[in-house]
């Protein structure tokens, strides 16, 4: 399993602590250091809609002064420019499932 996020994000910390407590192995991909490719984003969008992947509630969205009504294409362009606009964590499960955000109830059912 791969966990995409940033080390300072509270939701990412909750997810990684959950996985550690359950003894689940994962690879961590730091969105501040590694760029999500266009191909990767396209594959994610086949599994989750843009409104799930694009974080309109985070600090980065607010500091950039972006508009919540922008098109999915505009959001995609912004995700390529600014990785901190991804909702975190993004979990790529070994079975191909893609989870976005921390949800302890859902995690407990899945893991």
Q: What are the backbone angles phi and psi of residue 17, rounded to the nearest 5°?
A: -65, -40
Number of domains in the chain: 1
Average pLDDT (38-49) is: 97
SS (H, E, C) the chain: CEEEECCCCHHHHHHHHHHHHCCCCCEEEECCCCCCCHHHHHHHHCCCCHHHHECCCCHHHHHHCCCCCCCHHHHHHHHHHCHHHECCCEEECCCCCEEECCCHHHHHHHC
CATH of the domain at 83: 3.40.30.10
Would you state the pLDDT for residue 20? Answer: 97
pTM of the full structure: 0.94
Residue 33's pLDDT band, with cuts at 50, 70 and 90, is very high
Whole-number percent of the chain with pLDDT over 90: 99
Domain that holds residue 75: 2-110
- Length of the chain counted residue by residue: 111
Would you state the pLDDT for residue 28? Answer: 98
């Amino acid at each position: 399993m791969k966990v995409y996020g940033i080390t300072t994000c509270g939701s990412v910390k909750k997810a990684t602590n959950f996985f550690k407590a359950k003894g689940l192995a994962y690879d961590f991909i730091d969105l501040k250091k590694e760029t999500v490719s266009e191909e990767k984003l396209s594959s994610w969008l086949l599994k989750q809609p843009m409104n799930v992947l694009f974080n309109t509630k985070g600090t980065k969205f607010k500091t950039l002064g972006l508009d919540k009504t922008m098109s999915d294409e505009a959001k995609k362009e912004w995700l390529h420019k600014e990785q901190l606009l991804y909702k975190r964590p993004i979990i790529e499960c070994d079975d191909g499932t893609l989870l976005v955000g921390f949800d302890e109830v859902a995690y407990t059912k899945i893991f």
